[in-house]
Amino acid sequence: MEDIKNLLLSRNIRPSHQRLQILKFLAGTPLHPTVGEIHQTLAPLLPTITKATIYNTLRLFVDKGLVSAFRLSGEEARFDYKHRLHAHFHCILCDKIIDIHSKYPCLDIHRIGPLKIGDVLLVFKGLCDKCQKPGKTGGVPLRKKIKKKVSTGGPRPLT
């Protein structure tokens, strides 16, 4: 917890108990939770925490570069601790989001040139290992499933 406290202080963020718990949760989960999911997880530990407090804290963390926020296909914003630059995989059937830690030239922001890049969002779409099992696509070809899902909107950064 001391590391998280120091991280907040290094970004000029007052390390309140609620902020520490929110960042500790995000840093420790492979999920990309929504405000509601964060609230549901932390409410038993912090009975007085509200969704508004979580949203405001996440907005501060996004502004200070600790957390990234993104939306997939028009859904509620999801939040991800920015421990290092990485891509995401979004399963179009179960909506699972998986971090992909690999070296991609497009993630090497130093190779792009003299541009000042604030954030990168790279999302691969397809089927996760569980959804690739026979019968999961309901007889509809994968290409049609992807087209239907993608046509509703792609990833959008939270503004």
Indicate which CATH number applies to the domain containing 51: 1.10.10.10
Element (H, E) at 123: strand 123-126
To the nearest 10 degrees (0 to 180), the angle between helices 51-63 and 17-28 is 70
Could you tell me if 77 and 105 lie in one domain?
A: no
Task: Domain of residue 94: give its range.
Answer: 84-152
Long-range (24+ apart) CB contacts under 8 A made by 27-33 are 27/81, 27/83, 30/98, 30/99, 31/97, 32/70, 32/78, 32/79, 32/80, 32/88, 32/97, 33/78, 33/79
What average pLDDT does range 125-140 have in this prediction?
74
- Residue 149: pLDDT over 60: no
Domains: count for the chain: 2
Please report how many Cα atoms fall inside a 13 Å half-sphere around the Cα of residue 63, on the Cβ side.
8
Residue 157 forms part of a structural domain: no
Q: Report which of residues 7 and 86 the model is more confident about.
A: 7
| Whole-number pLDDT of residue 122 | 77
Instruction: Identify the band that residue 32 occupies on the pLDDT scale cut at 50, 70 and 90.
Output: confident
CB 108: neighbour CB atoms within 10 A?
A: 11
Cα separation, 81 vs 115, whole angstroms? 24
- What's the pTM value of the predicted model, to 2 decimals? 0.68
| Whole-number pLDDT of residue 109 | 63
Could you tell me if 16 and 48 lie in one domain?
A: yes
Residue 159 forms part of a structural domain: no
CB 42: neighbour CB atoms within 10 A?
A: 18
Could you tell me if 19 and 6 lie in one domain?
A: yes
| Whole-number pLDDT of residue 104 | 63
Which amino acid would we find at residue 18? Q
- Residue 47: pLDDT over 90: yes
Given 37, 67, 82, the domain boundary residue is 82
CA 148 to chain centre: 23
Q: Report which of residues 1 and 110 the model is more confident about.
A: 1
| Whole-number pLDDT of residue 156 | 45
Instruction: Identify the band that residue 51 occupies on the pLDDT scale cut at 50, 70 and 90.
Output: very high
